[in-house]
């Protein structure tokens, strides 16, 4: 890992830190011990930065810290049950931040991101991979068509994080739309935008997704005044245009 530019950071003496650094490459295993090395490096960084007078730290968490079930996930009600090194290390970072904030006197926020999509994402991710396959007139067979996720466009995530900072919100907050979308409906929306609806079909038999329903209760975020600018169709339209320009 690259050593932080401490000379410049100390000269700048930041009031707030948005901590996004982690290993999240699409092909990187969620159960890799590398995530715990990210945890150690992150704790060391925040611990030192806090001594410069930080007033606020916003950490980035994940929706899979929760115990998943058939209902929307609520910050102060849904139990936490992180599975795998990625979710476990993220949850450990949140717990450490909470203790460190109390000890050093800064405000901490923990933004649990749901299913991020948008222009510029890795080609292996669902939305971009679906668009590119359909542009090549390749059929798409969905193994888990009923799997339901909360997809949030990258621009809406940025506005949510900015609002959390501006409001100096303390504690955990879901960064999701509160709307669940099935994999089948997402793929069909892309196909309709490209006039290729006949290329999408469910697998026979279908496969059960262990993460079959992951949807945010977005009440807490919306209480700060946040509203998404992109519904799924608008977000996918932007991605389709971008990919068409690449062809």
| pLDDT bracket for residue 1 (50, 70, 90) | low
Q: Which pLDDT value is given to residue 29? A: 72
Q: What is the pTM of this model?
A: 0.94
| pLDDT bracket for residue 25 (50, 70, 90) | low
CB 23 within 8 Å of CB 90? no
Q: Helices in 167-213 by DSSP H: which ranges?
A: 183-193
Domains of the chain: 14-246 (3.40.50.720)
Q: Which pLDDT value is given to residue 133? A: 97
Q: In whole angstroms, how far apart are CA 102 and each of 42, 154, 238?
A: 18, 31, 42
Kindly state the average pLDDT of the residues 3-21: 93
Asked whether residue 192 carries a pLDDT value surpassing 90, the answer given is: yes
Q: Which pLDDT value is given to residue 28? A: 64
Asked whether residue 40 carries a pLDDT value surpassing 80, the answer given is: yes
| pLDDT bracket for residue 35 (50, 70, 90) | very high
CB 151 within 8 Å of CB 186? yes
Kindly state the average pLDDT of the residues 121-126: 92
Kindly state the average pLDDT of the residues 23-38: 78
CB 65 within 8 Å of CB 90? yes
For 128-164, the pLDDT digits (tens) are 999 999 999 999 999 999 999 999 999 999 999 999 9
Asked whether residue 45 carries a pLDDT value surpassing 80, the answer given is: yes
For 84-103, the pLDDT digits (tens) are 999 999 999 999 999 999 99
* Residues in CB range of 177: below 8 A, 6 or more apart: 114, 150, 151, 152, 156, 216, 218, 228
Kindly state the average pLDDT of the residues 8-33: 84
Kindly state the average pLDDT of the residues 167-174: 97
Asked whether residue 30 carries a pLDDT value surpassing 80, the answer given is: no
């Amino acid at each position: 890992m690259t050593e932080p530019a401490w000379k410049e950071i100390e000269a700048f003496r930041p009031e707030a830190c948005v901590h996004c650094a982690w290993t999240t490459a699409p092909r990187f295993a969620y159960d890799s011990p590398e995530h715990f090395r990210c945890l150690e490096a992150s704790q060391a960084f925040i611990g030192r930065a806090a001594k410069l007078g930080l007033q606020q730290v916003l950490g980035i968490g994940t929706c899979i810290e929760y115990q998943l079930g058939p209902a929307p996930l609520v910050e102060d009600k849904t139990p936490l049950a992180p599975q795998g090194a990625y979710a476990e290390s993220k949850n450990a970072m949140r717990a450490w931040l909470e203790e460190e904030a109390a000890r050093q006197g800064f405000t901490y926020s923990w933004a649990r991101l749901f299913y991020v999509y948008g222009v510029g994402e890795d080609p292996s991710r669902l939305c971009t991979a679906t668009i590119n396959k359909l542009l090549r007139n390749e059929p798409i067979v969905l193994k888990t068509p009923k799997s339901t996720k909360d997809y949030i466009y990258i621009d809406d995530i940025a506005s949510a994080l900015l609002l959390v900072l501006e409001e100096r919100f303390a504690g955990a907050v879901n960064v999701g739309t509160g709307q669940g979308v099935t994999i089948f409906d997402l793929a069909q929306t892309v196909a309709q935008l490209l006039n290729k609806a006949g290329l999408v079909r469910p697998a026979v038999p279908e496969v059960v997704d262990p993460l079959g329903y992951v949807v945010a209760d977005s009440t807490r975020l919306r209480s700060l005044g946040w509203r998404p600018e992109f519904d799924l169709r608008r977000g996918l339209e932007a991605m389709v245009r971008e990919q068409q320009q690449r062809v």
